[in-house]
Amino acid sequence: MSAKAVTDNNGPPARAAADVVSRAPAGGKAPTRRKPSTGFPVVSLAEAAEILKEAGKYGFEHSVGEFASYMGHSTTNSGAFRQRMAALRDWKLVTGRGDSISMTEAARVIALPPDDAAELNALRVAFKNCSIFYKLYEESQKGTPLARPGLGNRAVHAFGVAPSSVSKFVASFVDSAVAAGIAQVHEDDRLTLQEPDEQVDGLGFTTETNVPVTSTTASPRSSQTGRSAAPVVHQAWPIDGGTIVFEIRSERPLPASAYVTVGEVVASLERLSLTLAPTTTGSVTDEVETAE
Protein backbone atom coordinates (compact mmCIF):
# COMPACT_ATOMS: atom_id res chain seq x y z
CA MET A 1 0.00 0.00 0.00
CA SER A 2 1.45 3.35 -0.97
CA ALA A 3 1.91 6.04 1.64
CA LYS A 4 -0.40 9.08 1.47
CA ALA A 5 -0.31 12.40 3.22
CA VAL A 6 -2.16 12.42 6.50
CA THR A 7 -4.55 15.33 6.97
CA ASP A 8 -5.15 16.91 10.35
CA ASN A 9 -8.62 18.35 10.71
CA ASN A 10 -7.12 21.33 12.54
CA GLY A 11 -4.31 22.18 10.15
CA PRO A 12 -2.51 21.55 6.86
CA PRO A 13 -1.44 18.09 5.66
CA ALA A 14 1.21 16.54 7.86
CA ARG A 15 4.30 14.68 6.60
CA ALA A 16 3.68 11.41 4.84
CA ALA A 17 2.99 8.66 7.34
CA ALA A 18 5.81 6.58 5.94
CA ASP A 19 8.20 9.45 6.75
CA VAL A 20 7.08 9.78 10.36
CA VAL A 21 6.82 6.28 11.73
CA SER A 22 7.61 2.80 10.50
CA ARG A 23 4.99 0.04 10.25
CA ALA A 24 4.49 -1.83 13.53
CA PRO A 25 5.95 -5.36 13.49
CA ALA A 26 3.78 -8.45 13.76
CA GLY A 27 4.48 -8.71 17.49
CA GLY A 28 2.60 -5.48 18.05
CA LYS A 29 5.54 -3.52 19.53
CA ALA A 30 5.55 0.21 19.11
CA PRO A 31 7.73 1.47 16.24
CA THR A 32 10.99 3.15 17.12
CA ARG A 33 12.10 6.57 15.95
CA ARG A 34 15.59 7.14 14.62
CA LYS A 35 17.57 9.47 16.89
CA PRO A 36 18.66 12.65 15.06
CA SER A 37 22.39 12.74 14.39
CA THR A 38 24.63 15.62 15.47
CA GLY A 39 25.39 18.19 12.83
CA PHE A 40 28.83 19.55 11.94
CA PRO A 41 30.37 21.78 9.25
CA VAL A 42 31.00 19.53 6.26
CA VAL A 43 33.05 22.32 4.69
CA SER A 44 36.35 22.54 6.55
CA LEU A 45 37.75 25.71 8.06
CA ALA A 46 40.50 25.66 5.42
CA GLU A 47 37.95 25.71 2.58
CA ALA A 48 35.87 28.32 4.39
CA ALA A 49 38.95 30.55 4.59
CA GLU A 50 39.48 30.28 0.82
CA ILE A 51 35.86 31.31 0.23
CA LEU A 52 36.28 34.33 2.51
CA LYS A 53 39.48 35.40 0.78
CA GLU A 54 37.75 35.33 -2.59
CA ALA A 55 34.72 37.24 -1.31
CA GLY A 56 36.94 39.67 0.60
CA LYS A 57 38.40 40.96 -2.65
CA TYR A 58 35.06 42.69 -3.24
CA GLY A 59 34.17 43.80 0.28
CA PHE A 60 32.70 42.41 3.49
CA GLU A 61 28.98 42.59 2.71
CA HIS A 62 27.38 40.76 -0.21
CA SER A 63 24.12 39.43 -1.51
CA VAL A 64 23.45 35.70 -1.39
CA GLY A 65 23.81 35.53 -5.15
CA GLU A 66 27.21 37.23 -5.02
CA PHE A 67 28.43 34.77 -2.40
CA ALA A 68 27.28 31.91 -4.63
CA SER A 69 29.31 33.28 -7.51
CA TYR A 70 32.43 33.58 -5.33
CA MET A 71 32.05 29.88 -4.57
CA GLY A 72 31.70 29.02 -8.25
CA HIS A 73 27.96 28.32 -8.15
CA SER A 74 25.56 29.60 -10.79
CA THR A 75 22.52 29.29 -8.53
CA THR A 76 21.66 29.74 -4.87
CA ASN A 77 19.31 26.76 -4.93
CA SER A 78 21.92 24.02 -5.19
CA GLY A 79 22.52 21.68 -2.28
CA ALA A 80 26.27 22.28 -2.46
CA PHE A 81 25.86 26.04 -2.04
CA ARG A 82 23.46 25.68 0.87
CA GLN A 83 25.85 23.24 2.52
CA ARG A 84 28.73 25.69 2.22
CA MET A 85 26.68 28.58 3.58
CA ALA A 86 25.54 26.43 6.50
CA ALA A 87 29.18 25.65 7.28
CA LEU A 88 30.14 29.35 7.25
CA ARG A 89 27.36 29.94 9.76
CA ASP A 90 28.53 26.98 11.88
CA TRP A 91 31.97 28.57 12.03
CA LYS A 92 30.25 31.88 12.88
CA LEU A 93 31.99 33.56 9.98
CA VAL A 94 28.90 35.12 8.38
CA THR A 95 25.69 36.68 9.63
CA GLY A 96 22.61 38.15 8.02
CA ARG A 97 19.14 37.25 6.89
CA GLY A 98 17.31 37.35 3.63
CA ASP A 99 19.50 38.39 0.72
CA SER A 100 22.18 40.14 2.77
CA ILE A 101 25.33 38.37 3.99
CA SER A 102 27.90 40.08 6.21
CA MET A 103 31.28 38.76 7.35
CA THR A 104 31.95 38.66 11.08
CA GLU A 105 35.04 40.35 12.53
CA ALA A 106 36.99 37.07 12.54
CA ALA A 107 35.98 36.43 8.94
CA ARG A 108 37.17 39.87 7.87
CA VAL A 109 40.59 39.27 9.40
CA ILE A 110 40.79 35.89 7.63
CA ALA A 111 39.73 37.44 4.32
CA LEU A 112 42.24 40.29 4.50
CA PRO A 113 44.75 39.47 7.23
CA PRO A 114 46.98 42.32 8.45
CA ASP A 115 49.63 39.71 9.27
CA ASP A 116 50.04 35.95 9.72
CA ALA A 117 49.55 36.07 13.48
CA ALA A 118 46.22 37.88 13.18
CA GLU A 119 44.98 35.40 10.58
CA LEU A 120 45.97 32.38 12.69
CA ASN A 121 44.30 33.87 15.73
CA ALA A 122 41.08 34.48 13.77
CA LEU A 123 41.14 30.90 12.46
CA ARG A 124 41.40 29.65 16.04
CA VAL A 125 38.47 31.83 17.04
CA ALA A 126 36.44 30.18 14.27
CA PHE A 127 37.60 26.69 15.25
CA LYS A 128 36.48 27.27 18.83
CA ASN A 129 33.11 28.48 17.55
CA CYS A 130 32.39 24.94 16.33
CA SER A 131 31.54 23.31 19.66
CA ILE A 132 31.66 19.69 18.47
CA PHE A 133 35.10 20.05 16.86
CA TYR A 134 36.50 22.01 19.77
CA LYS A 135 35.16 19.50 22.29
CA LEU A 136 36.70 16.59 20.37
CA TYR A 137 39.99 18.49 20.26
CA GLU A 138 39.89 19.25 23.99
CA GLU A 139 39.11 15.67 24.99
CA SER A 140 41.64 14.03 22.66
CA GLN A 141 45.22 13.20 23.61
CA LYS A 142 47.81 15.75 22.58
CA GLY A 143 51.31 15.06 21.26
CA THR A 144 50.58 11.46 20.26
CA PRO A 145 49.73 10.28 16.71
CA LEU A 146 46.03 9.42 16.48
CA ALA A 147 44.39 7.18 13.89
CA ARG A 148 41.48 8.64 11.95
CA PRO A 149 39.17 5.64 12.56
CA GLY A 150 39.57 6.16 16.30
CA LEU A 151 38.55 9.81 15.99
CA GLY A 152 35.55 8.79 13.92
CA ASN A 153 34.43 6.12 16.39
CA ARG A 154 34.68 8.61 19.23
CA ALA A 155 32.57 11.08 17.26
CA VAL A 156 29.85 8.45 16.88
CA HIS A 157 29.78 7.23 20.49
CA ALA A 158 30.52 10.46 22.37
CA PHE A 159 28.94 13.11 20.17
CA GLY A 160 26.18 11.35 18.24
CA VAL A 161 27.58 11.72 14.73
CA ALA A 162 25.82 9.40 12.27
CA PRO A 163 28.03 6.43 11.25
CA SER A 164 27.30 7.19 7.60
CA SER A 165 28.80 10.68 8.06
CA VAL A 166 31.95 9.67 9.94
CA SER A 167 34.36 9.96 7.00
CA LYS A 168 33.17 13.50 6.21
CA PHE A 169 33.32 14.44 9.89
CA VAL A 170 36.91 13.26 10.31
CA ALA A 171 38.07 14.85 7.05
CA SER A 172 36.57 18.21 8.00
CA PHE A 173 37.91 18.03 11.56
CA VAL A 174 41.45 17.18 10.45
CA ASP A 175 41.63 19.85 7.74
CA SER A 176 40.18 22.43 10.13
CA ALA A 177 42.59 21.61 12.95
CA VAL A 178 45.54 21.87 10.57
CA ALA A 179 44.25 25.23 9.30
CA ALA A 180 44.02 26.47 12.90
CA GLY A 181 47.64 25.45 13.52
CA ILE A 182 46.80 22.92 16.25
CA ALA A 183 47.46 19.68 14.34
CA GLN A 184 49.93 17.99 12.04
CA VAL A 185 49.24 15.16 9.61
CA HIS A 186 51.91 12.47 9.21
CA GLU A 187 52.84 10.48 6.14
CA ASP A 188 50.92 7.48 7.48
CA ASP A 189 47.79 9.71 7.61
CA ARG A 190 47.69 9.79 11.40
CA LEU A 191 47.08 13.07 13.17
CA THR A 192 48.91 14.66 16.08
CA LEU A 193 47.02 17.32 18.02
CA GLN A 194 49.00 20.04 19.78
CA GLU A 195 48.31 22.57 22.49
CA PRO A 196 48.24 26.12 21.08
CA ASP A 197 50.90 27.28 23.56
CA GLU A 198 53.28 24.68 22.12
CA GLN A 199 53.23 26.42 18.75
CA VAL A 200 56.13 28.62 17.68
CA ASP A 201 53.85 31.65 17.40
CA GLY A 202 52.85 31.31 21.05
CA LEU A 203 49.18 32.07 20.42
CA GLY A 204 46.46 30.25 22.32
CA PHE A 205 42.72 29.98 21.89
CA THR A 206 40.80 33.18 22.44
CA THR A 207 37.46 34.71 21.60
CA GLU A 208 39.05 37.99 20.54
CA THR A 209 40.53 38.73 17.13
CA ASN A 210 43.04 41.32 18.30
CA VAL A 211 46.66 40.16 18.37
CA PRO A 212 49.31 41.64 20.66
CA VAL A 213 52.42 43.19 19.18
CA THR A 214 55.32 40.81 19.65
CA SER A 215 57.67 43.57 20.72
CA THR A 216 57.64 47.30 21.26
CA THR A 217 61.36 47.66 20.69
CA ALA A 218 62.06 50.02 17.85
CA SER A 219 63.54 48.53 14.70
CA PRO A 220 66.60 50.16 13.05
CA ARG A 221 64.28 51.54 10.42
CA SER A 222 62.06 53.27 12.99
CA SER A 223 65.07 54.67 14.88
CA GLN A 224 66.34 56.35 11.75
CA THR A 225 63.02 58.07 11.24
CA GLY A 226 62.67 59.08 14.88
CA ARG A 227 59.62 56.85 15.49
CA SER A 228 59.88 54.52 18.49
CA ALA A 229 56.74 52.41 17.92
CA ALA A 230 57.20 49.14 16.05
CA PRO A 231 55.21 48.43 12.87
CA VAL A 232 52.05 46.49 13.63
CA VAL A 233 50.93 46.37 10.02
CA HIS A 234 53.03 47.00 6.93
CA GLN A 235 51.89 46.19 3.40
CA ALA A 236 53.31 47.42 0.12
CA TRP A 237 52.09 47.30 -3.48
CA PRO A 238 54.33 48.11 -6.47
CA ILE A 239 52.92 50.63 -8.93
CA ASP A 240 54.24 52.20 -12.08
CA GLY A 241 57.24 54.24 -10.96
CA GLY A 242 56.80 53.74 -7.24
CA THR A 243 55.14 51.93 -4.36
CA ILE A 244 52.00 52.28 -2.28
CA VAL A 245 52.80 51.71 1.40
CA PHE A 246 50.28 51.21 4.19
CA GLU A 247 51.76 51.08 7.68
CA ILE A 248 50.48 51.31 11.23
CA ARG A 249 52.93 51.85 14.10
CA SER A 250 51.77 51.40 17.66
CA GLU A 251 53.14 50.47 21.06
CA ARG A 252 49.82 48.81 21.91
CA PRO A 253 47.80 45.99 20.37
CA LEU A 254 45.14 46.91 17.85
CA PRO A 255 41.60 46.16 19.06
CA ALA A 256 39.44 43.74 17.08
CA SER A 257 37.27 46.57 15.76
CA ALA A 258 40.34 48.20 14.19
CA TYR A 259 41.01 45.18 11.97
CA VAL A 260 37.66 45.68 10.29
CA THR A 261 38.71 49.15 9.15
CA VAL A 262 42.21 47.91 8.32
CA GLY A 263 40.71 45.32 6.01
CA GLU A 264 38.62 47.96 4.26
CA VAL A 265 41.66 50.20 3.77
CA VAL A 266 43.75 47.29 2.45
CA ALA A 267 41.00 46.33 -0.01
CA SER A 268 40.79 49.92 -1.29
CA LEU A 269 44.56 50.24 -1.65
CA GLU A 270 44.77 46.92 -3.45
CA ARG A 271 42.22 48.12 -6.00
CA LEU A 272 44.18 51.35 -6.38
CA SER A 273 47.41 49.42 -6.92
CA LEU A 274 45.81 47.41 -9.73
CA THR A 275 44.85 50.68 -11.42
CA LEU A 276 48.39 52.02 -11.06
CA ALA A 277 50.19 48.70 -11.58
CA PRO A 278 53.40 48.58 -13.63
CA THR A 279 52.86 47.77 -17.28
CA THR A 280 55.31 44.87 -17.11
CA THR A 281 53.54 43.03 -14.31
CA GLY A 282 50.16 43.13 -12.69
CA SER A 283 51.09 41.27 -9.56
CA VAL A 284 50.56 42.65 -6.12
CA THR A 285 52.95 41.77 -3.34
CA ASP A 286 52.12 41.98 0.34
CA GLU A 287 54.80 42.40 2.98
CA VAL A 288 54.20 41.99 6.67
CA GLU A 289 56.83 43.29 9.05
CA THR A 290 57.17 42.63 12.72
CA ALA A 291 59.43 44.32 15.21
CA GLU A 292 62.95 42.98 15.33
pLDDT band at 269 (very low <50, low <70, confident <90, very high): confident
On whether the CB atoms of residues 99 and 64 are closer than 8 A, the answer is: yes
Asked if residue 242 has pLDDT above 50, the reply is: yes
Q: How many CB atoms lie within 10 A of CB 86?
A: 14
Whole-number CA gyration radius for the chain: 24
Rounded to 5 degrees, φ, ψ at 222 are -70, -30
Residue 108 above 70 pLDDT?
yes
Q: For residue 50, name the pLDDT band (cuts at 50, 70, 90).
A: very high
Range in 211-220, 231-240, 280-289 with the lowest mean pLDDT: 211-220
How would you write the chain as a 3-class SS string? CCCCECCCCCCCCCCEHHHHCCCCCCCCCCCCCCCCCCCCCCCCHHHHHHHHHHHHCCCCEEEHHHHHHHCCCCCCCCHHHHHHHHHHHHCCCEECCCCEEEECHHHHHHHCCCCHHHHHHHHHHHHHHCHHHHHHHHHCCECCCECHHHHHHHHHHHHCCCHHHHHHHHHHHHHHHHHCCCEEECCCCCEEECCHHHCCCCCCCCCCCCCCCCCCCCCHHHHHHCCCCCEEEEEEEEECCEEEEEEEECCCCCCHHHHHHHHHHHHHHHHHHHHCCCCCCCCCCCCCCCCC
pLDDT tens-digit map of 59-98: 899 999 998 998 888 888 888 889 899 999 999 999 988 7
Question: Pick the residue with more confidence: 218 or 71?
Answer: 71
Pairwise CA distance, residues 156 & 72, whole Å: 33
The Cα 228–Cα 226 span in angstroms is: 6
Q: How confident is the model at residue 30 (pLDDT cuts 50, 70, 90)?
A: low
Average pLDDT in the chain: 75
Model-level pTM greater than 0.85?
A: no
User: What residues have CB less than 8 Å from 253, skipping those under 6 apart?
Assistant: 210, 211, 212, 213, 232
